């Protein structure tokens, strides 16, 4: 019986090389290979446009032996994870090359790709050309010249040289290439990339670059370097990295700007940088994953960084914000003029906050929010009605009756507006709950002052500074050091009868488990021992896990709710009210 075998058309290499959307992304694929080879340094030399100069990529990684070339490199579409695992051998990096086709990325930009790789005292050379590929029907029949010679034992790494660059394509742009590489490798401490001799760094971000140095009391010299992108979309890894003695501490942050109500959140995705503050050394946690809570030195660094970041953003985007406000102000000026002076001043401040918060959003989205705000201010006639009622004399029964009738109609009108406002709120809350990347803290802020969504029995609960401090004190003691990453998001409330309500928020993408139920009931026990109060518990999340207790297995005064069910129930109540109000 004759044996059959698959044949691979020689056009496969061409088709694979065309998978990359641009020359810069094809080069990035070759840099990924250097990352996977545990390289410390990669050097990329680009040709001048419209010349016959080569494009060269050199790394000091592990290189490849003759056996690796024949068994692995020339094996098309073989996933290296299947033979070497998810991480590299020396640096334990997460492997990026997953499809086994990155070797053809060079043919995206050039007709000839030469490879030289050095490992264990041997230097191997290969050469692939589009012309040779076109001469064979089956890529398995392609003859590949493989030259091997001895070299120094201490030489290791790989060099790829691309020649005869495709004249029909745009030549690789150094600036564009830096943007592509920064998104992936901008925060790697042990992987340095040079493009045309210049090290890839913060100042390569397309936009404005700032460098500030200041000596702070008890902290010493603090150096802040950051760039603000002028691109339409945000950066992939935005934020400022804190470094102490050269080590990165925790994740990139925005030094309090993300907590500022008057700062456009979308702009935060455009900043990229790092701040060196060696004076914070004594305040770094043992695991080098954060700064100890309530550090006064860290607060001083935050204040310095926030002020400099604000100044940088105002210089680059202040004019844009002002123009957006001017366009909107023109549309609402006539309505503002009709408002009493005290309302007008408040309206202008409120409109500015809306424009700042929704910076970058289309006007079709922002304009309705501004007009809803103005509508509420224009219709807030309770004060006038109360004055009218107070002015009616005790003997003028008819005037009193008329005034109370007007008050009832105004109250009815207010209920209609409130119901419509609640419906709009539920729309936005549902949108937030449906986003898989929404955090517990974001749901907390959206719901904390709107407990009516859980039903009338919850609407009279509210929080205050004392309750917030009790929660902060408890969490500060229970979740510190390496345990801080497990800190829950809790809200403590009290109603008119002195009853306590404890809410734990889980992110919408999290499936509630028995473990979550046990945790929140244990929080109740510990808080109850501190406050001397009985506490009702509400666990709130996105969906139910398979082991979440139900019915009789749930402790008294304990409720488990899902965002979707809560929003649907609240929406039915609002719709019922709207159907019955004139």
Q: How confident is the model at residue 415 (pLDDT cuts 50, 70, 90)?
A: low
- Output the pLDDT for position 228: 92
Q: What digits encode the pLDDT tens for the residues 513-535?
A: 999 999 889 888 888 887 778 88
CB atoms < 10 A from the CB of 473, how many? 11
Question: Edge-to-edge strands of the sheet including 489-494?
Answer: 489-494, 500-505, 535-541, 558-562
Weakest-pLDDT range from 78-87, 204-213, 253-262, 440-449: 78-87
* Percent of the chain topping pLDDT 90: 27
CATH class assigned to 11-198: alpha beta
Non-local (6+) Cβ contacts of 342 within 8 A are none
Q: DSSP class of residue 418?
A: H
Question: What angle is formed at CA 423 by the lines to CA 405 and CA 426, rounded to 5 degrees?
Answer: 145
Non-local (6+) Cβ contacts of 326 within 8 A are none
Q: What digits encode the pLDDT tens for the residues 305-328?
A: 999 998 998 888 776 656 655 665
User: How many whole angstroms separate alpha carbon 441 and alpha carbon 150?
Assistant: 60
The overall average pLDDT reported for the chain is: 81
Confirm whether 11-198 and 206-311 share one CATH topology.
Answer: no
Non-local (6+) Cβ contacts of 501 within 8 A are 458, 461, 492, 493, 494, 495, 535, 536, 537, 538
The pair phi, psi for residue 73, each rounded to 5°, is: -65, -40
Non-local (6+) Cβ contacts of 579 within 8 A are none
Q: Give helix 397-434 / helix 563-580 axis angle, nearest 10°.
A: 150
**Residue-wise over 440-471: b if at least 16 C-beta within 10 A, else e?**
bebbbebbeeebbbbeeebeebebeeebeebb
* Topology of the domain covering 206-311: Ribosomal Protein S5; domain 2 (3.30.230)
pTM score over 0.75: no
Domains of the chain by residue range:
11-198, 206-311, 320-434, 440-571
Non-local (6+) Cβ contacts of 428 within 8 A are 446
Q: CATH: 1.10.3470, 2.70.98, 3.40.1350, 3.90.1150. Which one for 440-571? A: 3.40.1350
- Output the pLDDT for position 14: 53
- Output the pLDDT for position 539: 92
Residue 264: is its pLDDT beyond 90? no
Residue where the block lists tokens 């119901």: 419
When pLDDT is averaged across residues 255-282 and rounded to a whole number, the result is 87
Non-local (6+) Cβ contacts of 576 within 8 A are none
CB atoms < 10 A from the CB of 291, how many? 20
């Amino acid at each position: 019986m004759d044996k059959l075998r698959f044949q691979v058309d020689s056009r496969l290499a061409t088709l694979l090389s065309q998978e990359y959307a641009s020359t810069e992304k094809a080069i990035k694929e070759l840099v990924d290979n250097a990352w996977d080879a545990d390289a410390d340094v990669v050097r990329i030399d680009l040709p001048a446009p419209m010349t016959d100069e080569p494009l060269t990529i050199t790394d000091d990684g592990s290189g490849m032996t003759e056996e690796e070339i024949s068994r692995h490199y020339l094996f098309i579409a073989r996933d290296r994870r299947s033979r070497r695992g998810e991480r590299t051998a020396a640096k334990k990096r997460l492997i990026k090359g997953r499809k086994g086709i990155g070797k053809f990325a060079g043919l995206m930009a050039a007709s000839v790709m030469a490879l030289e790789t050095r490992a264990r005292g041997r230097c191997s050379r290969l050469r692939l050309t589009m012309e040779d590929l076109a001469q064979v029907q089956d890529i398995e029949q392609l003859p590949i010249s493989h030259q091997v010679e001895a070299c120094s034992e201490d030489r290791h790494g790989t060099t790829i040289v691309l020649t005869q660059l495709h004249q029909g394509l745009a030549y690789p742009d150094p600036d564009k290439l830096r943007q592509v590489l920064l998104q992936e490798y901008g925060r790697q401490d042990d992987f340095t990339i040079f493009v045309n001799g210049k090290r890839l760094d913060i100042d390569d971000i397309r936009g404005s670059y700032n460098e500030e140095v200041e000596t702070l009391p008890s902290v010493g010299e603090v150096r802040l370097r950051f760039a603000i992108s002028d691109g339409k979309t945000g950066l992939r890894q935005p934020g400022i990295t804190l470094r102490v003695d050269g080590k990165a501490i925790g994740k990139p942050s925005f030094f309090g700007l993300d907590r500022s109500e008057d700062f456009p959140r979308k702009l935060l995705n455009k900043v990229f940088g790092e701040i060196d503050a060696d004076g914070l050394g004594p305040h770094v946690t043992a695991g080098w994953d954060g700064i100890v809570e309530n550090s006064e030195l860290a607060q001083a660094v935050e204040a310095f960084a926030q002020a400099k970041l604000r100044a940088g953003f105002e210089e680059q985007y202040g004019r844009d914000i002002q123009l957006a406000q001017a366009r909107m102000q023109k549309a609402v000026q006539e309505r503002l003029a009709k408002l009493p002076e005290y309302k007008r001043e408040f309206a202008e401040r409120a409109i500015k906050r809306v424009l700042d918060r929704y910076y970058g959003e289309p006007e079709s989205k922002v304009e309705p929010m501004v007009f809803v705000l103005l509508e509420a201010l224009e219709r807030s006639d309770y004060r006038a009605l109360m004055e009218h009622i107070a002015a009616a004399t005790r003997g003028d029964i008819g005037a009193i009756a008329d005034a109370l009738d007007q008050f009832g109609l105004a109250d009815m009108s207010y209920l209609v507006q409130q119901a419509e406002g609640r419906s709009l709120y539920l729309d936005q809350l549902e949108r937030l709950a449906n986003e898989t990347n929404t955090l517990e803290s974001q749901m907390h802020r959206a719901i904390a002052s709107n407990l009516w969504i859980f039903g009338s029995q919850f609407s009279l609960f509210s929080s205050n500074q004392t309750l917030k401090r009790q929660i902060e004190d408890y969490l500060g003691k229970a979740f510190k050091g390496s345990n801080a990453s497990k800190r829950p998001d809790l809200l403590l409330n009290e109603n008119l009868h002195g009853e306590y309500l404890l809410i734990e928020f889980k992110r919408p993408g999290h499936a509630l488990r028995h473990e979550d139920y046990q945790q929140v009931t244990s929080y109740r026990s510990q808080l109850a021992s501190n406050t001397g109060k009985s506490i009702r518990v509400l666990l709130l999340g996105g969906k139910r896990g398979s082991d979440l207790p139900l019915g009789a297995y749930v402790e008294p005064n304990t409720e488990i709710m899902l965002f979707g069910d809560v929003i649907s129930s609240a929406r039915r109540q609002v719709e019922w009210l709207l159907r019955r109000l004139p």
